[in-house]
Amino acid sequence: MGTCSGKRPQNESSLKNQQNQSNTDNITPQKYQLNDVQSDIGNLIITNKKLGRITKDYTLLNPPLGNGAYGEVRKAIHKSTNLMRAVKIIHKSQTTKQEQERLINEVEILQKLDHPNIIQIYEFYQDDRFFYIVTELCTGGELFDKIRAEGSFSEKKAAEIMKQILSAVNYCHEQKIVHRDLKPENLLYESEEENSLLKIIDFDTSKEFVPNQKLNQKLGTPYYIAPEILKKQYDEKCDLWSCGVILYILLCGYPPFDGKNEDKIMEKISQGVYSFDSQEWEDVSIEAKNYIRKLLELDPSKRLNAQQALSEPWIKKFNNPLEFDKPLMTKVLKNLKKFITQQKLQESIVKFIVNQLATKQEKTELLKTFQCLDTNQDGKLSKEELLAGYSKIMKPVEAVEEVNRIFLQVDKNNSGSIDYTEFVIATIDRQQLLSKQRLKMTFRMLDKDKSGSISIDELKEIFSGISEDIWKQVVQDFDSNSDGQISLNEFFTMMKKIE
C-alpha cells in the first residue's frame, strides 16, 4: 500500500505547472494536442504509408493547433471528401534517428489498435523534409483542461472517466502493448457533448512487451511515472499506477506526488508517499480511497491489473451495465446474422468506406450494442459474449449455430474474437453505407490520379494482399471494355452486388 503523509501537496498551481516539467531521461519533448476541430470520421485499420507531399491529398489549414520543438499539428481538409482531419507534422532535420524511430513505432502501434477509446490513425506520409501522421479529430479538448476548469469531479463522473481509460488500457495490455505515458494531457474528448468518448493519444513511447519479461527504459512524465520505472525494472502494470494518479487528481484537483522540483517529486514517488488528509478528501468515500490505494501499490505484483481494476466494486457502483435494449439488440444482431463474406476486393472497399466515411451518428447505436455485449470490457467480442447476446433473441441451439457461422464470416484476422471495426462493418446499415453519394465519394478517393477512372494498379496499391486471380476476376466481371480501368458506372455495378 502507498504510505500516507500528513503534508498536503501544493494543489492547483502545481497542476497548472505540471506541463512545464521536463520528461525524464530521453522522453520526446512537446506533446501535440488535437482539439477544437469537428469530425465525423470513424476508425481505420487499413493505413497507407505514402511517399510524396501530403498536399496532393490534403489542404493544410492555418493557424496550427499546436507547436512543439520538432513540429506542429494542423487541421487538414481531405480534398476528395471535404472531411476535416488533423495532421501531425514533424521536421526530419530537427529530429534524431531515435526520435524518428519512435515516430514510426507510434504509427505501427496505432495501426494494430482498434478500440473506441483509442485515437485512430488514417495515413502516414513522408517527403524530403517532413513526416506527416493523419489522425481522427477530437473536438472536446483535453481532460487536463477540464480538470483545471472544474477543479475536481464527483465520484460518479470520475468513475465514468476511469472506466473508459481502463477499458482502453485493458485492451492494449491484451494486445501486449504498454502505453507508458498515460496522463490527462494525453486524453482527449471526442466532442463537446455531455457523454463524449475519451480517446487515449500519443503512443510514441508505447512498446510491445513480452509477458514475464521486464522493460528497462526510463520513460514517462513526472507526477505520473511509476516507481518501478525509476528502477528500470517494470512491466505493463506501470500504466495502472498512472491510472491511480489520474484518479487521485480527478477527485481532488491536484497530484498525489508533488514537490518543488523533479527530484523531490521522484523521491515521493519512490516512497509511495501521498495523503488523503486535506479537506478535499473529507467527502470522498472510503471505497474510492481504497481503490486508489490498490492502483498506487508500490509492489507491482500486488497492484491491480487492468481487468481487475475494471471489476472493482467502486467502478461498477457508478458504471451500471448498459440497459439491454431488445429492439436495438435484435436489429443489430439481425444485421450481423445477414452478413455474408463478399469478394475480397469488395470486402476491402466496404472496410475502406466504413473507416473513412461512416459518421459518428451511424456508429453510435452500434457502439452501444458492442459495449453491451462486451461484458468483460476488453474491447472485443468472444464467442461466449456473442452467444449470450443471441441467446436473448433466439433459442439456445439456434444461437450456437449462428455464432459459429458468424465467427467464420466476421473474424477476418482469425483472432478468436470480433474486433470493434469488424463488428461495425458486419452490422452497419449496408444500404445507407453504399448510397450513390458515398460511392461517388469513395470512387474519387480511389482515383488517385484524378483521371475519372480507377486503374487496377491504383486498386492494387491501396488494397494489398489480394491474389492475382481475384484481380483477373474483377477485370473479367466488371471491366466491360477490357481497358484495365474501372469507370464510375462499373464501380457502381461492382459495389451494388453486395448490398
Say how far apart CA 474 and CA 456 lie, in whole Å: 9
Strands 58-60 and 66-67: unpaired
Number of residues that make up the chain: 499
| Beta-bridge partners for 177 | 208
What does the angle CA 315 – CA 243 – CA 37 come to, to the nearest 5 degrees? 95
Q: Catalytic one among 36, 127, 128, 181? A: 181
d(CA 411, CA 416): 7
Residue 88 annotated in ligand binding: yes
- How many C-beta atoms surround the C-beta of residue 296 within 10 A? 25
Residues contacting 483, CB < 8 A, separation 6+: none
All three cell numbers of 376: 468483460
Helix axes 344-357, 488-496, angle to 10 degrees: 100
The 3-state DSSP class for residue 409 equals helix
Alpha-carbon Rg for the chain in angstroms? 24
| 222 cis-preceded (ω within 30 degrees of 0) | no
Within 13 A of 227's CA, how many CA atoms are on the CB side?
19
Q: How many CB atoms sit inside 10 A of residue 289's CB?
A: 15
Q: Is 181 a catalytic residue?
A: yes
Burial of 407 (0-12, 13-18, 19+ CB in 10 A): middle
Q: Which residues are annotated as a binding site for ATP?
A: 88
Q: Which residues are annotated as a binding site?
A: 88
Residues recognised as catalytic: 181
